[in-house]
Amino acid sequence: EILGEERYAIAAPLIARVLQGEAQSYDWQPFPGVWQVISYAPKRDGAGRVTGYYVLGTDITERKAAEAKIHSLNQELAGHLVELENVSRALRTLSAGNRTMLRAVSEPELLDNMCQAIVESGGYDTAVVWFRLEDGPQSLRPMAQHGYPTGLPGLLGLQATWADNERGQGAVATAIRSGQTRVVADLANAPGYAHWQAELHDYASVIACPLRVAGKVIGALAIYDTRPQAFSPDETVLLTESAEDLAFGINNLRTRAEQLRSQEAMHRLTHFDNLTGLPNEMQFAETLTATLAEARQLHRPFALLQANIEHLSELNDALGFRHGDQLLCEFGNRLHSLMPYPAMVARLRGDEFSVLLPDSGADGALAAVQLLQQHLETPFRIADISLEVSAKIGVALYPEHGTTPHDLFRHMDIAVHLAKKKGVGHVVFDPAQNPDHSRRLTIASELRRAIEQGDLQLYLQPKVDMASGRLCGAEGLVRWQHPERGLIPPVEFVGLAENTGLIKPLTEWVVGAALRLNHAWSEQGCALPIAVNLSAHNLRDERLLERIHHLLATWQIAPGLFEMELTESTVMEDAEFALHVLHGLRREGIPLYIDDFGTGYSSLAYLQKLPVDYIKIDQSFVRNLSTRKESELIVRSTIDLIHDLGRKAVAEGIEDQASWDILATLGCDYAQGYFIARPMPAEQFQAWAASYQPPASCLPDRTEWSI
């Protein structure tokens, strides 16, 4: 009655059970918003028999509210767990992707590994990297994949496109065009996939993230999943980040590849000669340094050879640079094929080639020299002309001739120059003739003192007019009166002076001595021209003209009495500038000589431009005149050439009557040489001139010149 019928229906079975001795309880809502728990507990007597029951009502509204909250929280949690699982696979993808990135050394490897990581570490079904092509149909090229049932060939067969047409509305194409990540959650019903339904396999969703490399979208990373709605928003952010990392990795590898390519190109540029393709001076020097270190350790010898092609510039002048270049290439080829591995053949510069012969002593070096000379006997075919090419070779050996690259290079160079000077095919460096560096330094400082203290001497060698036999001038030649070593000839110190900056004071001394003599002789009324020799270094001296002008004015020298000689190579060293200086000297009234003609490579065209009055035929041609027929031929054509150019020919180094006679018949204008007189101290010159008798073959009716 108290409970009423409705509640009694609930309570009756409980009452029945509690009367059996089992406690009971149930929750109910007496009013909306209020919850109670009703408990029934059996009441027992002393013997434990159930005699009735207690009913206890407790308000549990709050607990009920808390339970409801917990329930809804649990549901929310379940949702989050799914999301979390998605995010965590994306995170796994991200970190596996990054590991891949660190390890990959090439772009294909990176793309493959990335796809594999997405599937295997991330747990997605399939990953594909698509690149866009800039071809006509704007194709999508699958570059790497993992998990696609028919692999790359299957993907290729899809003939996907990123073009904005009906087949290009999928996630990949739109991601590429827009540069934004695209997610399609339900492929079966997506309008963009209407054309692709047959190729979808079991895939239900896809995400495509653009790959942006160096500011340009080059493709997309696509991940396919068989569940619909597979990609949550947070996951999308993370996968986009993964794709950005992949793009970064691609960019890195491309930059590295580019760097490698330019490093290689740089290495080629800096280590190889452009023209011949042979190693250049830098590579040669590096190899020399390495060979030296090894040779030192293993106590092994090696040899260096330098071969200079002769008369290359003449060939350039005659046939043009293109053919000169062709000769250089063929010479390089010949040298390269003659010197087998491990010899290294390099082109140092211009006409200079070098060979490094590891494990080689003097014998090996000489065998190589012989081999080269022998093969040079076969003419080169350039521009349909058969050219005889010769080379001067210098040899330096380790350890005899130097233990540093610098010394070896220098000594090899000295040997070549000596070969040129002596007119022989090759020279092996001779330390006895070339004092070592510290010794050179001592000599240089002694020379400096000698110039300051006037320990130099001016020697004079007469020149005579060949037609009349008359004395017509003298050449001033310097000597060094050394306190211990005695009289030193110029070949032993002029080069040193040039290399140590002493050539300026030296030349000043010689010019001063010559002008003093000029002046003294003029005062005595027996003026005679005196020629001094200039070095290339003097020619480069910008104050040369100014100083000469000043000196000529000081000594009041009449024009023509003070002359200058310059070797062919001196003039050719800086041809344009030399021309300017020579014109300046000529304006000062100084007659000019080209010295040692025939040893350099001056071109005829250039020679014609030079304001010189005399050309001195080098003594190497003159000395053999009476014994070698070809010398006569050379001298004859040289004299003709000099006359054609409107200049006077001077022969130097005439040592005997026979040479004199030949030169006289060839029409040579002036003569100089031991046959007339050796160079003598300037103070003895007047006495010599007074007793001078012209050679017997001169026309007798000419009056003698006497001083």
Work out what residue 673 binds among ligand C2E, Mg ion, none; the CB cut-off runs from 5 to 8 Å by kind: ligand C2E
Q: Which 62-101 residues touch ligand C2E, going by CB under 6 A? A: none
Which of 273, 352, 465, 595 is close enough to bind ligand C2E by CB under 6 A? 595
Asked if residue 533 binds ligand C2E (CB under 6 A), the reply is yes
Nearer to ligand C2E, 299 or 543 (CB): 543
Q: Give CA–CA dist 168/525, Å, rounded.
A: 108
Structure tokens at 358: 């590891």
Q: Which member of 234, 330, 655, 661 binds ligand C2E (CB under 6 A)?
A: 655
The binder of 491, among Mg ion, ligand C2E, none, by C-beta within 5 to 8 A per type, is: ligand C2E
List the x/- string, 495-534, binding to Mg ion by CB under 5 A.
Answer: --------------------------------------x-
Distance in angstroms (rounded) separating the CA atoms of residues 664 and 699 = 11
Q: Do residues 326 and 261 make contact, with C-beta atoms less than 8 angstroms apart?
A: no
653 binds, among ligand C2E, Mg ion, none (CB under 5 to 8 A by kind): ligand C2E
Residue 212 in tokens: 């942006």
Instruction: Say whether 617 sits in a helix, a strand or coil.
Output: strand
Nearer to Mg ion, 222 or 494 (CB): 494
Considering only 478, 517, 610, 651, the residue that binds ligand C2E (CB under 6 A) is 478
Options 326, 535, 624, 631; binder of ligand C2E; rule CB under 6 A:
535
**Which of the ranges 179-187, 263-271, 636-644, 653-661 carries the binding residues for ligand C2E, by CB under 6 A?**
653-661
Binding region for ligand C2E (CB under 6 A) out of 144-152, 334-342, 638-646, 666-674: 666-674
Helix-, strand-, coil-residue percentages of the chain, each rounded to 5: 50, 20, 30
Report the nearest approach of Mg ion to the CB of residue 532 (Å). 8
Q: Which of 242, 673, 688, 694 binds ligand C2E (CB under 6 A)?
A: 673
The CB-nearest residue to Mg ion is 565
Q: How far is the CB of 535 from ligand C2E (least distance, A)?
A: 4
DSSP labels, 65-94 = HHHHHHHHHHHHHHHHHHHHHHHHHHHHHH
Which member of 513, 652, 685, 688 binds ligand C2E (CB under 6 A)?
Answer: 652
Decide if residue 225 touches ligand C2E (CB under 6 A): no
CA-to-CA separations, 151 to 145, 178, 662, in angstroms, rounded: 7, 27, 94
> Using the rule CB under 6 A, which residue among 24, 100, 181, 619 binds ligand C2E?
619
Contacts 24+ apart (CB under 8 A), 618-624: 618/652, 618/653, 619/652, 619/653, 619/673, 620/423, 620/653, 622/651, 622/652, 622/653, 622/654, 622/659, 622/663, 622/673, 623/653, 623/655, 623/659
Q: Is 464 helix (H, G, I), strand (E, B) or coil?
A: strand
SS3 127: strand
| Using rule CB under 5 A, residue 596 touches Mg ion | yes
User: Which residue is nearest to ligand C2E, using beta carbons?
Assistant: 673
Contact region with ligand C2E (CB under 6 A), list: 58-66, 138-146, 169-177, 669-677: 669-677
Closest CB to ligand C2E among 273 and 465?
Answer: 465
Please tell me the distance from the alpha carbon of residue 408 to that of residue 562, in angstroms, as a whole number: 42
Tell me which residues in 143-172 interact with ligand C2E (CB under 6 A): none
- Amino acid letter for position 239: L
CA-CA distance, 493 to 510, in Å (whole number)? 14
Window 561-580: residues binding Mg ion (CB under 5 A): 565
- For residue 463, which of 673, 696, 704 has the smallest C-alpha distance? 673
Q: Residue with structure tokens 């003070």? A: 562
In whole angstroms, give the CA distance from residue 144 to residue 155.
Answer: 10
- At its nearest, how many Å lie between ligand C2E and the CB of residue 297? 43
By CB under 5 A, tell whether 595 contacts Mg ion.
yes
- Which is nearer to ligand C2E, 313 or 457 (by Cβ)? 457
Q: Among 298, 491, 605, 696, indicate the residue that binds ligand C2E (CB under 6 A).
A: 491
Residue the block writes with tokens 């399939």? 126
Per CB under 6 A, 489 contacts ligand C2E: yes
- Residue 96 sits at φ, ψ, to 5 deg, of -65, -40
List the structure tokens of 406: 């610098």
Rule CB under 6 A: which residues touch ligand C2E? 461, 477-478, 489-491, 494, 507, 510, 532-535, 565, 595-596, 619, 652-655, 672-674, 679
- Residue ranges in contact with Mg ion by CB under 5 A: 533, 565, 595-596, 652
